[in-house]
Every structure is written in structure tokens, then in C-alpha cells.
Amino acid sequence: MTNAANAVEFSSNLSSSRSTTQSQPQSQIQSRFAHGGTQSLPTRRICVFGVPLDLGASRRGVDMGPSAVRVAGLEARLEALGHQVSDGGNIRVEIAETQSSGSTNARFLQEIADTCTRTAEAVVKSLEDGMTPLVLGGDHSLAAGSVSGVAEFYRRQGQKIGVIWMDAHSDINTPETSPSGNVHGMPLAALLGLGPGSGLEPLSQIFGYSPKISPENTVIIGVRDIDAAERENIRRAGIAEVYTMRDIDERGMRTVMEEALRAAGRGTAGYHVSLDMDWIDPEDAPGVGTPVRGGATYREAHLAMEILADHGRLLSFEIVEVNPIIDEHNRTADLAVELACSAFGKKIL
């Protein structure tokens, strides 16, 4: 199936799902919202779609992440807040066993780039329809597509976007610097236009231009496992706002988030939030592709999402790296849904 055909298929799914959601009387939505007492922000029309991509990582299983998050009740729990939610289905992804992995420096790069292009087109379509994209992964390489889609939509309006990258890893390797050749460690480099001539172009040149985002509006939060070459790549890229777990420990999540959102929002239409579930400590999120001890706690994660909601400038949101194969009774997917609800305005009181 061609990219265009795939986009048409997505659009058809989206239109069908939207008509079902919109057929519900508006008064019923408002009544349920008012009685819930948990949502104080304007409600949104949210478009959910999955990207069951696991070509970018060595450990398999994250391709089942979108299903796990859906099973955890994402749509119903967002609708309980008063939002109108449409599910556009999954973006088509090639299966590893049917493909050649290609270069050991960037395995499955072309197949991942094709998936990311389809993802970007779907994101643009949902934004054109006045909806907020909520993308479910899948490994983190898909962010090269989702962010490209948001950036392209606002570029057409003469605006740029910020990015909040919440992750145990910085994901800013290139094929030249990656010790593993796993592309899920490269999407931020692709979005920032690093590695020209390194072979990363299929990922960085989606929509025919690069970079997609500016370093001064890119913020990394919660990193604690960075490759040696990535430190230099962060400096080369010019990202000034990098908050490690030590920063969170010493200064607190509130201070970090307030500074991060100011940086990402400065001169932009708003920001895309890319939430890798390994950002959270494995005690609370065990079912992730690459767990690293010492991450954000359950309450720190919720606080970050609540502060994000308070600012009201969220353009799009994604949750990646949920791996139900190594999860415990779908705990990680359930937490992912809780955090999404907090990001979209759920309050304790």
C-alpha cells in the first residue's frame, strides 16, 4: 500500500470514528463533564492512533504497546473528562521478519522512515481536522514521524513548535555515533538535523526539509543514561535545556517543569510532548523496552503532567516504549493512561 493510500485509509477510519463520537448529544457530554468535577480546562477533540513499531529496538514487544494502552481504557477515561475521542486505528508497520535489517549502524532505517512518514501524514491530517493527536507507541523512533507532522502543520502557518522530551535516554545518536545501531536512539538527532551525510537522511528529511525543531525550544527532562558520544551531540545541537534526574532531585519537579515549558513555549505555537515510559522508575513502570533505575516517581510523573495541563499549550502528545511482554498485569499501560488523563486536565479536586 502506498503512503497516499495509507493516509486515505487512516482518514476513512478517522471520519467513521469521529461521526460515532459526534453523534453523542453535546448536552450529555457537558453533563458528564460537569458532574465529574475533575476537569477544569476546555475540553478537546482528541485523535488517538497507534504506531505498533518495534523495528528500532533490540528487545521486541513494544509493537503491542498501543493495544495494551487501549485495553487499559484510554478512550473511556479521557471521555469521562468530557473530551471527544476518536480512534483512527494503527499506522501500517512492516514486520521485522519480512524485512532485511540493512546497515548495522542503523538497522531497518528505511522501513522506520517509511512508517514515520505515514505517521507524519496522519498527524497533519488530524491537526487539519481540528483535533489533538495522541500517538501510542511502539518504540521511540516513531517520534521522528509524529513531531515532523506537528512541525509541518504549524510550518504551513508560519509558526514553529517546541518539544518536551521526557526520557531516561537522550535519543540523540546518529548512525556514526550509535554503539548499538538501534534507531530508537536516534529520533531526536533526526529532528534536530544532526548527522548530515551519516545516512540518517531518510528519517530527518520527512517532508523534504531539515531540521524540524530548534534547539532553543527543545527540552530534555529526566535523562540518566546517556552514551558518551551523545553528550557531544547534545552540545553540537545546541540544546541548553537538559534536566537530568539530579536536577529533579535537587530542584524539584515543579521548578524543572516550569522552566522547561517556558523554554519550549518561547516564540512557538506550543509544544509536542514525547513521553517515553522509561522516564519513570521501573518500580512504577516495569514494562518498558529499556528500563533504567532511578527515574521519576509515580507522583513526580503525575505532577509533571498536571503542570503541563495547567499551562494549556499542549499541541500533541505521545506515549512510547510500553512493552506488555515484560509488564506486570498491564501496570505500565495503566499508568500511561493515568498520565495521559493528567496531561489532558484531570484534577484531584
Catalytic positions? 140, 167, 169, 171, 184, 276, 278, 321
Q: Reduced to 3 DSSP states, what percent helix, strand and coil does the chain have, rounded to the nearest 5?
A: 50, 15, 35
What is the spatial distance between Cα 27 and Cα 305, in angstroms, rounded to a whole number?
A: 28
Burial class (CB in 10 A: 0-12, 13-18, 19+), 247: middle
- Number of helices followed by number of strands (H, E) in the chain: 13, 8
Task: Give residue 329's region: left, alpha or beta (phi > 0; psi -120 to 50).
Answer: left
Looking only at the bridges linking them, the beta strands covering 271-276 and 241-244 are unpaired
94 contacts 112 by C-beta, under 8 angstroms: no
118 contacts 3 by C-beta, under 8 angstroms: yes
The length of the chain, given as a count of residues: 349
One-character DSSP codes across 239-290? --EEEEHHHHHHH-HHHHHHHHHHHHHTTSS-EEEEEEGGGB-TTT---BSS
Of 261, 263, 245, nearest in space to 305 by CA:
261
Of 49, 53, 134, 65, nearest in space to 330 by CA:
65
